[in-house]
């Protein structure tokens, strides 16, 4: 184990990265397991060497695996140093090979190959943190076929010299790998400008640290999910703390959220840092409203301006309004940041109105109120009818009133609203005095509970011009209406159901259209509705539980869903014999260890209850519940006592009546 840790120790000297790594991952060692793979460190040089070339003594290494831990090792791979730089490039991919050439300042493949063969730690540097690089030079091999692995799985690495002689380097079980938690990183420093962000996440360095790399994720305010901003950042150790540094170019005015997540060499991931949101915009560079104009249009003033930049710094656009150019501005409306116009209908003819329009900013340190753009305008005199009221609704709020409400008209020169009522759209009449509000309460005193009423609204302006009648709404008052209860409710058990019938109230009363059946278990306080609206005077309850006693009642229903009082009740106890019967016979025999009972099985189930009493006793007591059997030995009997037995059957927690009773004297 010490030999393999040398790789990380040498790396500290070359790159300054902390040597330890593990969470439910691994800190150094021969094996680096995760839930998707097991990385096998093939070998490492002896302590003190300046070269990491592990193929001085052995020409190749063989990796074997004992998947079940029974000693049956099977060869998985033979690992060698690449024979040429082209082979190295083929193993790692062109991206890693070309980056390595740049890192070691090689002019061509030959110079890069020489550096690679030397294994010089100082020159190679951070490439010893690259899984692709270590696999390319034969220091590491990855087992991705781990579906059958377990804690008992054992790996073995053997060295093979030039003469073909094999020597076991190490043997190690997956269960021997020690795992420790990842540290929880926090954002330590954030620098955000118009076009670039820089972040540093930090945490005090723990005694054992699995975090070698980190991924950074980001999401903009218009994105639905996070995406990868940086996939492999190095976790470095400085001033007794671990740090992750990230920087990228961004577009001005974006609202971006970032978080990072550490992981180890094997791909085990640690806890993510808390997300943090940042605006890439300085206050001095934020654009304000330009090109504001006010134009007279039909019954309104039309405001327009140039569109704001599509940036996340804006939360809205505020419209302020006044009849004075210098004071008393009030907020008329707040629009979305992408709005470019506003129609103000709340204006009077021949009045000059002054407007101020400004962007609103999201709450952020350093952001203040932006200056406003100003303009004014007036609406010319027009002689037109007001628009008809909209949004009319009617509802009954109690037993006394129908409450009507509607939307307020946009015109400012209104005199009053008027409410109309009738039984059809052709006979509507005004029923209200002039109303300055948008609510009217119509008394139920003279309204019929069986009649559908139609309501509508009109509005008059100060020039006594009347609008069109609004869209009408209908409502039937909910007033108590007499509904006769059914009489003569009867119940009986027939065909495995409770059969109910009653007087046909529908045939007697014109307003009754059907019935609803209610049931409760005797002794319970509340009834439960067990039917929909039945059109005929009878009902079958097929869901009654055997052995229970029920009370039934029925109500009549009219066309407006009014119900009568509950009828007189009928009571019935549901029998059990239709569901399961006791044994037809049973036999008693004195045995050495007790009295044996035997009986024929039931075709509906083989669960039974055995009862017993002494012949002098007044009542039976339960002896045993017999599950899935047709025989039972009673071992609790006393010698010389005359006993009487009986048996019941059980099915789905329903117990049948008892069968015949039989007596036997226990032998002395």
3-state secondary structure 2-63: HHHHHHHHHHHHHHCCCCCCCCCCCCCCCEEECCCCEEEECCCCCCCCCECCCCCCCCEEEE
How far is residue 241's CA from residue 238's CA, in Å, rounded to a whole number?
5
CA pair distance 218, 257, nearest whole angstrom: 5
| C-alpha distances in Å from residue 292, one per residue of 308, 342, 611 | 12, 11, 97
Domains and CATH numbers, the chain: 2-176 (no CATH), 284-378 (2.60.40.10), 393-475 (2.60.40.10), 490-573 (2.60.40.10), 587-665 (2.60.40.10)
Which residue matches tokens 């946009």? 410
In sequence order, the 6+-apart residues with CB closer than 8 A to the CB of 495 are 540
Residue 508's φ and ψ, nearest 5 degrees, are -95, -40
3-class SS at 654?
strand
Average pLDDT over every residue of 164-173: 91
Which tops the pLDDT comparison, 321 or 605? 321
Residue 9: predicted pLDDT: 36
Pairwise CA distance, residues 20 & 522, whole Å: 73
Nearest to 351 by CA among 378, 375, 324, 329: 378
At 621, give phi and psi (nearest 5°).
-125, 145
Rounded Cα distance, 94 and 546, in Å: 80
Q: Is 281 exposed, middle or buried (0-12, 13-18, 19+ CB in 10 A)?
A: buried
Nearest to 581, CA basis, from 600, 555, 559, 562: 600
> Hey, how many other C-beta atoms are within 10 angstroms of the C-beta on 552?
25
DSSP state letters, 320-354: EEESSSSS--EEEEEE-TT--EEEE----BT-EEE
Q: What is the DSSP string of 550-581?
A: EEEEEEEEETTS-B-PPPPPEEEEPPSTTT--
**Dist. CA 234–CA 18, nearest whole Å:** 10
pLDDT value at residue 391: 94
pLDDT tens across 193-228, in order?
878 889 999 999 998 889 999 999 999 877 889 999
DSSP string, 253-281: T-EEEEEEEEE-TT--B-PPPPPEEEE--
Asked if pLDDT for residue 91 goes beyond 80, the answer is yes
Per-residue pLDDT, averaged over 555-573, amounts to 89
Q: Which residues of 448-470 are buried (b: 16+ CB within 10 A; e: fewer)?
A: eeeeebbbbbbbbbeeeeebeeb
pLDDT of the residue at 115? 86
Local confidence band at 527 (pLDDT 50, 70, 90 cut-offs): very high
Kindly report, residue by residue over 406-434, the tens digit of the pLDDT. Answer: 999 988 778 899 999 999 888 899 999 99
Beta bridge partners of 242: 203, 237
User: What are 523-529's contacts with CB under 8 Å, separation 24+?
Assistant: 527/551, 527/553, 527/566
Average pLDDT over residues 384-412: 89
- For 20-49, the pLDDT digits (tens) are 333 577 887 889 998 899 999 887 655 555
- Residue 524 CA neighbour count, 13 Å, CB half: 13
Burial class (CB in 10 A: 0-12, 13-18, 19+), 285: exposed
First-to-final CA distance of the chain:
79
Instruction: Give how far the C-alpha of residue 469 lies from the chain's centroid of Cα atoms, to the nearest Å.
Output: 48
| Interatomic CA distance for residues 615 and 618, integer angstroms | 8
pLDDT confidence of residue 12: 35
Task: Pick 621 or 562 by higher pLDDT.
Answer: 621
Over residues 525-533, the mean pLDDT reads: 93
How would you list the strands of the sheet with 196-204, edge to edge?
186-192, 196-204, 241-249, 236-238
> What phi-psi label fits residue 638: left (phi over 0), alpha (psi between -120 and 50 degrees) or beta?
beta
**pLDDT at position 49:** 52
**DSSP conformation class of 629:** -
Percent of the chain with pLDDT over 90: 49
Using 50, 70 and 90 to split pLDDT, how confident is the model at 14?
Answer: very low
Give pLDDT, residue 3.
Answer: 40
The Cα-based distances of 133 to 100, 124, 129, 403, 527 in angstroms read 9, 10, 8, 79, 77
Q: Across residues 535-541, what is the average pLDDT?
A: 94
CA nearest to 181, candidates 152, 141, 219, 211: 211
What pTM did the predictor assign?
Answer: 0.46
pLDDT, position 5: 40
Mean pLDDT value of segment 301-316:
89
Cα–Cα distance for residue pair 637/632, rounded to 1 Å = 13
pLDDT at res. 56: 75
């Amino acid at each position: 184990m010490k030999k393999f840790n040398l790789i990380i120790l040498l790396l500290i000297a070359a790159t300054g990265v902390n040597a330890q790594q593990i969470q439910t991952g691994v800190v150094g060692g021969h094996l680096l397991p995760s839930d998707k793979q097991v990385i096998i460190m093939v070998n490492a040089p002896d302590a003190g060497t300046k070269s990491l070339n592990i193929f001085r003594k052995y020409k190749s290494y063989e990796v074997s695996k004992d998947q079940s831990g029974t000693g049956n090792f099977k060869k998985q791979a033979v690992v060698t140093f690449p024979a040429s730089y082209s082979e190295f490039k083929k193993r790692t991919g062109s991206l890693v090979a070309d980056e390595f050439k740049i890192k070691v300042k090689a002019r061509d493949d030959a110079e890069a190959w020489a550096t690679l063969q030397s294994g010089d730690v100082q020159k190679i540097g951070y490439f010893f943190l690259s899984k692709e690089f270590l696999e390319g030079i034969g220091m590491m091999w990855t087992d991705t076929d781990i579906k059958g692995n377990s804690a008992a799985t054992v790996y073995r690495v053997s060295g093979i010299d030039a003469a073909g002689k094999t020597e076991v380097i190490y043997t190690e079980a997956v269960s021997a790998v020690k795992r420790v938690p990842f540290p929880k990183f926090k954002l330590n420093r954030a620098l955000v400008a118009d076009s670039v962000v820089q972040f540093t996440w930090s945490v005090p360095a723990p005694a054992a640290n699995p975090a070698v790399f980190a991924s950074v994720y980001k999401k903009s305010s218009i994105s639905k999910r996070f995406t990868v901003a940086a996939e492999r950042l190095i976790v470095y150790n400085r001033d007794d703390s671990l740090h992750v540094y990230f920087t990228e170019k961004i577009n001005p005015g974006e609202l971006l959220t970032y978080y990072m997540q550490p992981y180890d060499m094997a791909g085990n991931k640690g806890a993510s840092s808390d997300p943090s949101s940042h605006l890439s915009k300085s206050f001095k560079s934020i654009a304000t409203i330009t090109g504001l104009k006010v134009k007279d249009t039909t019954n309104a003033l039309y405001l327009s301006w140039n569109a704001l930049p599509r940036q996340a710094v804006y939360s809205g656009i505020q419209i302020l309004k006044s009849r004075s150019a210098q004071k008393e501005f009030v907020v008329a409306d707040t629009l979305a940041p992408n709005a470019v116009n506003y129609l103000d209908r709340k204006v009077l003819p021949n009045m000059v109105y002054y407007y101020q329009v400004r962007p609103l900013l999201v709450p952020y340190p350093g952001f203040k109120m932006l200056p406003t753009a100003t303009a004014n305008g007036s609406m010319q005199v027009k002689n037109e009818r007001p628009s008809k009221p909209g949004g009319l609704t009617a509802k009954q709020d109690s037993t006394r009133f129908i409450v009507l409400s509607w939307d307020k008209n946009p015109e400012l020169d209104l005199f009053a609203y008027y409410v109309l009522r009738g039984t059809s759209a052709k006979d509507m009449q005004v029923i209200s005095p002039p109303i300055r509000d948008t609510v009217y309460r119509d008394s139920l005193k003279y309204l019929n509970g069986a009649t559908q009423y139609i309501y509508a609204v009109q509005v008059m302006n100060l020039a006594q011009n009347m609008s069109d009648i609004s869209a009408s709404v209908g409502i039937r008052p909910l007033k108590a209406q007499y509904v006769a209860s059914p009489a003569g409710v009867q119940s009986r058990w027939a065909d495995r159901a409770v059969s109910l019938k009653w007087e046909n109230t529908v045939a007697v009363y014109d307003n009754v259209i059907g019935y609803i059946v209610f049931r409760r278990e005797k002794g319970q306080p509340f009834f439960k509705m067990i039917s929909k609206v039945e059109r005929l005077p009878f009902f079958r309850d097929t869901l009654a539980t055997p052995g229970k006693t029920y009370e039934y009642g029925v109500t009549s229903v009219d066309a407006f869903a009014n119900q009568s009082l509950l009828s007189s009740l009928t009571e019935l106890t549901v029998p059990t014999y239709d569901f399961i019967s006791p044994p037809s016979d049973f036999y008693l025999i004195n045995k050495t260890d007790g009295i044996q009972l035997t009986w024929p099985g039931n075709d509906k189930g083989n669960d039974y209850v055995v009862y017993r009493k002494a012949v002098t006793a007044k009542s039976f007591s339960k002896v045993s519940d017999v599950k899935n059997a047709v025989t039972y030995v009673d071992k609790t009997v006393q010698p010389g006592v005359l006993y009487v037995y009986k048996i019941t059957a059980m099915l789905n927690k329903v117990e049948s009546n008892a069968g015949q009773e039989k007596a036997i004297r226990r032998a002395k």
